[in-house]
Amino acid sequence: MKSLFAATLTVILCSQWGAAQSADLAEKLGYPQMIVHNGKIVTMDDASFQAQVGTIVQAMAIRDGKILATGSNNEIRAMAGQQTRMIDVKGRTVLPGFISTHEHPTDWAFLHPRAITHVLPDDEFLIHRWLPNLPLQEQWAKFVPTMKEALAKAKPGQWILLGFNLHGDNTGERSGMNRSPIQTSGIQEPFDFKKNITKKLLDQLAPNNPVKVKSGSNHSVINQKAIEESRKVHPTLSVISGNSENSTPAFSQWLESGYGFNRPIEPNVMFRDNLPALAEILKAEMELWTSWGITTFGSSPYAYRNLQAFNYLDQQGKMPGRFGWAYTGPDWSEETLRYLGSILGNGTDHLWLIGAWGRAGGSCMSIPSQEGAAAGDRSECFTVFHPGGKFRERTELVIKSGLRIATMYSSGDKDIDYLMDAIEEASKAGGFSLEEIRAKRHTFDGGRGAPRPEQISRMKRLGMMATLYNKYLDSGPRQMAERYGIEYANWVVPRMSLTRAGVMTSNSIDLPLPGEVFRLFLKGMNRYDEVAKKVYGPRERTDRIIQLKAWTRWGAYYMLRENLLGTLEPGKFADFIVLDKDLMTIPDDQIPTVRVLMTAVGGKIVHLTVPLANQVGMQPIGPTTWTEKIPPGW
């Protein structure tokens, strides 16, 4: 009894000492503006490649957008001042904000009507229409009537944007703000899109209006009037078409068909005179992603106007998330690349340069297809990084100039061989030591057929990272097994092999569906194929902690911001999410049902659902407050 009393007294005294120390700390550093307490705050401060999260605390104090201190409820609550906002999360799990290192909010904003419908009534300068979630033949049947209805409303010269729907499911259920498909193996082009939606048809329907029709992926068809409007901004059209006027026949084919990525048209052409509207649409799209826990994005902006819009938001203090951008042209002179190399990693807290790339890689494999496989032998295919090619030359120039390869997609192991050759050869030509090469953290994104096991040690030696898309695990391993052999299913998203070797990986959805985040989280753990009813590549399964490290601390390394992002530690940005379930302990099959109740970026709440808002005495914030209805079927 005496020893029990002594132990209890010691705990009380230590607690009082800790609270006193916390109060002294608050007086020295300034009282926190926010305290999150009574939570299970998973700091993710474990730096190993093991399945360990590190320190778990009850509370954290936040000041000036950064974490001031973490600790017990008593320690942190003792730091509060009169103006400190106290947020009791009532035992819920708190995690660092997720980092998606290959995500395209600038594309997704115009592939799905959520953001644009919220911001822009269709009777303003842009008419936008969205075909419902129906079989593609039924969407095609509605195409001409929808176009005619839009044209009847449009003024001469007014832009019309029409989108096909490839993002729904057939259950009639909606997962938060999004459809959440049972199977998502990547957005596929409609079989007959290019055949049926032609420039000739659009010219006949809309001779007086510029029109862009999106396939449901990033491909689209534009009409002659759209080409004429694009020339007003980009006289050579090379930025729009991806080819210069003298690079025939590619440019001529594009000019005749109007079919291609055509990415810069919305930001650079449609919104050339309305930067605030473009900025609000991109802001709304990012807000949707933060409502699913994703607070930082890595991507090319794909158009100068998108970068201007982000800068516009940043200067006004309205960025709802963080954006690390990679340069993708159009100027590939060595002088320009050297200027960019000199500012790699620089920018603001919300917008900074993380790298560059000149062309996405391909899907070339080093192994032949099995006899009878539909794909045939792809071992001799031409790769983007093949020695002597113009894109290999461009890639080497990027590296030699001191830049970093980042946010570049490539899915075949043969491409990765050539990419690593380019890194080594160009770095040598640039005079970089091995340590300087490693410090760059060159990357590739995808993981559909790379890296193969023998490449991993070379990746580690070069200090490389990789973004691996869990979406490929829906069908990719099965397809790899059918084409090449069952043992090659392990080459698809080989996250466990990379982790064991000490190579960091990050995560991405790479679809306009932020609601997929927790379903794909589980997919990375179990690699279960719902069609075949089996697991492919079982040795590459991970536990939930490795998935979580890829979404948080390892993603911060990819973004060149590990000193500020990825963990909930003092001195780092207060980017955090509050979940409705304990992601660390719930059964695996419940992981896809996890929802984010609150998201904060730099201590500023950008998403707060009604249930938690009521509990903490605040008003709901972010997309949860949007009352506008998006078009039926989306």
Do the bridges between strand 576-579 and strand 596-601 make them parallel or antiparallel, or are there none, so unpaired?
antiparallel
Copy the structure tokens of residue 211. Answer: 């029109």
User: pLDDT at position 373, please?
Assistant: 65
The confidence score (pLDDT) of residue 144 equals 96
- pLDDT number for residue 631: 72
Q: Where are the beta strands (DSSP E) in 220-311?
A: 220-222, 259-260, 294-299
In the 8-state DSSP scheme, what is residue 54? -
Largest Cα–Cα separation, the chain: 94
Q: Which residue(s) pair with 622 in the sheet?
A: none
pTM for the whole thing? Answer: 0.92
Length of the chain: 634
**How confident is the chain (634 residues) per 10-residue block, as mean pLDDT?**
39 48 68 97 98 98 98 97 96 98 97 93 85 87 96 95 73 31 38 86 97 93 98 95 76 94 97 97 97 98 98 98 97 96 98 96 88 55 84 96 97 94 97 98 96 98 98 96 96 98 98 95 98 97 98 98 98 98 98 98 97 95 82 70
Question: What are the tokens at 569?
Answer: 């530690």
Name the DSSP class of 573: B
Round to whole Å and give the CA distance between 392 and 351. Answer: 28
Under DSSP, is residue 193 helix (H, G, I), strand (E, B) or coil?
A: helix
Domains in the chain, ordered, with CATH? 2-97+576-625 (2.30.40.10), 126-270 (no CATH), 275-558 (3.20.20.140)
Residues 6+ apart with CB under 8 A from 296: 97, 98, 99, 100, 321, 322, 323, 324, 555, 556, 559, 561, 565, 575
pLDDT of residue 384: 85
φ, ψ for residue 430, nearest 5 deg: -85, -5
